[in-house]
Structure formats: C-alpha cells, structure tokens
Copies of this chain bind each other. A is one copy, B any other.
Amino acid sequence: MTAPPDQSPGQSSATLASEPGTGHRTFLGVQVPLRLDCGIELSEFPVAYQTYGELNTDKSNAVLVCHALSGDQFVSATHPLTGKPGWWDMVVGPGKLVDSERYFIICANILGGCMGTIGPKEVNPGTGQPWGLDFPVITVADMVRAQAMLVDHLEIDTLFCVIGGSLGGMQVLEWAASYPERVRTAVPIATAPYHSAQNIAFDEVGRQAIMADPDWRGGNYLIQGTNPHRGLAIARMVAHITYLSEPALHNKFGRRLQDRDAVTFGFDADFQVESYLRHQGSTFVDRFDANSYLYITRAMDYFDLAERYDGVLAEAFLGSETRFCVISFTSDWLYPTSESRRIVHALNAAAANVSFAEIESDMGHDAFLLEEPKFWRVLSGFLDGAREHFGLGTGNGT
C-alpha cells in the first residue's frame, strides 16, 4: 500500500532515499484503519518516522529500530529538537555497527508517543482538540501493527532485522510473534516477555505523580493551557533511578557533594546525585508529553506476550524461522537476565534459532544505550553472521 500521489498535509509519502546518515522526518497518512486491542478503530493517523541509508534493489537490507519509553524516531545523527545526538547514535549511523551505508534503517515514533505519531497530544479529528484521555489505551501489539503498516507503505515485505531495547525489545518480541515471516533476525535487548509486578509498581508511581499534579487537569492540560511539569519530572526521576544500578550510581556520584564543601542542613541538592536527578526531571519535561507517559507506561504494563497463547510463551514462536539474538546485562535490575532467560527458554522450546548473551556491565538497564563494547561485539558478530547467512554480502545489499 502506498500513499496517494496528491497528498494533503500530514499525509506526505515516505522518501526512500536520503543523504546517508542524515535522517529526515516524514509522515505517513495511513489509509487503512487500525483496529486496536481495546476494540476502537483509528483511521487516517500520522506515523512520524526517520529513515537512514538507502533501501537496496531487492529490498533485503531494511532494519527496523524500535525505541523505548522516552525515545523517539531520531535514533541517529543530531536530534532536531534537543540538538544532541540521537538516542542510539553510538550504534546507528554511517560506518557504525548498524551501518546506514549498508542498511536501510527505519525508526518510527511509537503509537501513543509525542513526536508526531498519533497519541494523546495530537488533535482528535472528532473534536478538533487534543485527544487527552479520550485517546484509546493502546498496547505494544498496537504499536507493532502501526509499524507494520508503515513497512507496508514503504513496500518492504521482509525486514532484515528488528532490534530494540526495553520497551523496544517488547516490540521486537511482538514483531517476531505476529509477523514471523517478515522478520529475518530479531534482537530483543534488556527486555522481558511480560512486565513484572515491580515494574508495574514503578510505572504506577510515575502515573500517580503525573495525575496528582493539579496542572494535569484530568488530562486536559493542553486545552486548559497548563503543564503538569512537576508531576512528570517526579515520574522521570523515579524511572531514571531504575535505569541505573547501585554500582553505577556509586561510581558516578557516591556521596559526593554538589559544588559545596559541607552539607547545608537544608533541602537543597547537597548531593551530586540529587542535582543529577533534578536535572533529569527538568530536562525531560521540555521534550515529553505527560499523557504520552501515561499511555506508554500502560502499554508496557499490559504487555504479556504469552497471554494470548494460553500462558505458553513458546507457542508465540512455534515454527518461526527468525534468527534471534537475546541480550541482557548483569546489573539490569529492571529487566534482569532471568527475564531474558524466559525468552530464551521459550525460543528453545519452540526449536527456534537463538543466540543469548548476558553482558557483564555495571551500568544497569541503560547499558544498551551507553558505551558498552562487549555488547557491541556480540551485536556486531550476530549481524555479520546473519548477513552472511541471508546472502546480503558486504556491500549495500546484494
């Protein structure tokens, strides 16, 4: 399916070619309604995405990168809003591990997000106002359905690789389960087949912090001209702690004081770790929508891949010919290795092709976003092997 040649705003078609390594933002006007897990249908909604590199002639070199809770489509190069490198710029780009000179890389803002894809911040065509809490609650499977529509639109049948960490890893698992014939390799990183009680609990604290902010206005803050920035900052602060690890915090900050020689016997940010957390909270609110935070965390909480297979996770992967590379990090306590092992055990039970690596790291859950050469070597080895197996050769496609 392709967009019509004559496009109205918000329905521009994808441009398949781009300057190597320089992403550009386009919109997809989806013409086929998307039926959500909650039963509601979305029609004609925008999906904001970036592409990097060029699709080869046999369309065999497409890589879909799935972003996490606070990520977006700007995976590589400079982020147009923050002016900083994209969230995975160390891994994705020209000459990098996921090489835009070799692959056609796609990254789309997820359903429910706040960077152009439909979500609670976007305008509800029925009212002409932002959706707010009228936006339907979406699931990880819904996010993946929207991505599949985008891949259809790009006229790509089969993805060489679907890759992502955290919530991105849940999308990878969902892709592999729902569209096995379209996924040659799947790399779920630092993720889990379902959200644990502890993770639901942390998400719930974040949501309660947002909803307790009087400026949230029952979700109508955009219409009423307020901003629940205090609540969203608290949500970000607590989540940020869970992305790190005790050793990482100890090494980075310990009990060191912030620009002072002694404690002040007050409630200022005496400690560096306090100052750092406050900064994380306050910068996040500049680029993220509070309602999107509610919706995306809810989708994560609802994620339980085995549920629709009567609780048997292996059933999700039966008969799959996808090659999997499951990766976890030793100090990740949000998505600990034990949860990656569940995925691996299910894949083994389904007789799927799976590699598994637990990477020694003290950087916690965020290790997948940081400089972690051991992780990169595993990923590089897996992709090289898959390229060879699927006959992609060494150049740009075959």
Shortest Cβ distance from residue A34 to the other chain B in the assembled complex, whole angstroms: 15
Shortest Cβ distance from residue A51 to the other chain B in the assembled complex, whole angstroms: 32
Asked if A366 lies at the interface with its beta carbon under 8 angstroms from chain B, I say: no
- CA A302 – CA B257 in complex, angstroms? 11
Q: What 1/0 mask marks residues of chain A from 209 to 239 whose CB sits below 8 Å from any chain B CB?
A: 1011110000000000000001101100110
- CA A196 – CA B298 in complex, angstroms? 31
Classify chain A: how many residues form its interface, as a range. 35 or more
Interface of A is mostly: helix
Point out the residues of chain B lying under 8 angstroms from A136, CB to CB.
265
Known: A137-B265, A212-B213, A238-B238. A197 touches B233 (CB 8 A): no
- CA A213 – CA B211 in complex, angstroms? 11
Contact B304 A197 (CB under 8 A): no
Residues of A at the B interface (CB closer than 8 Å) are: 37-38, 133, 136-137, 194-198, 200-202, 204-205, 207-209, 211-214, 230-231, 233-234, 237-238, 241, 244, 246, 249-250, 252-255, 263, 265-267, 269-271, 273-274, 277-278, 281, 294, 298, 301-302, 304, 333, 336
Q: Which residue of B lies closest to A256 (CB)?
A: B197
Extra inter-chain contacts (19) besides given A196-B250, A197-B252, A201-B277, CB under 8 Å: A137-B267, A195-B255, A196-B249, A197-B249, A197-B254, A201-B237, A204-B273, A204-B274, A205-B237, A207-B267, A208-B234, A208-B237, A208-B281, A209-B209, A234-B234, A263-B302, A270-B301, A271-B301, A333-B333
Contact B211 A274 (CB under 8 A): no
Q: Which residue of B lies closest to A273 (CB)?
A: B197
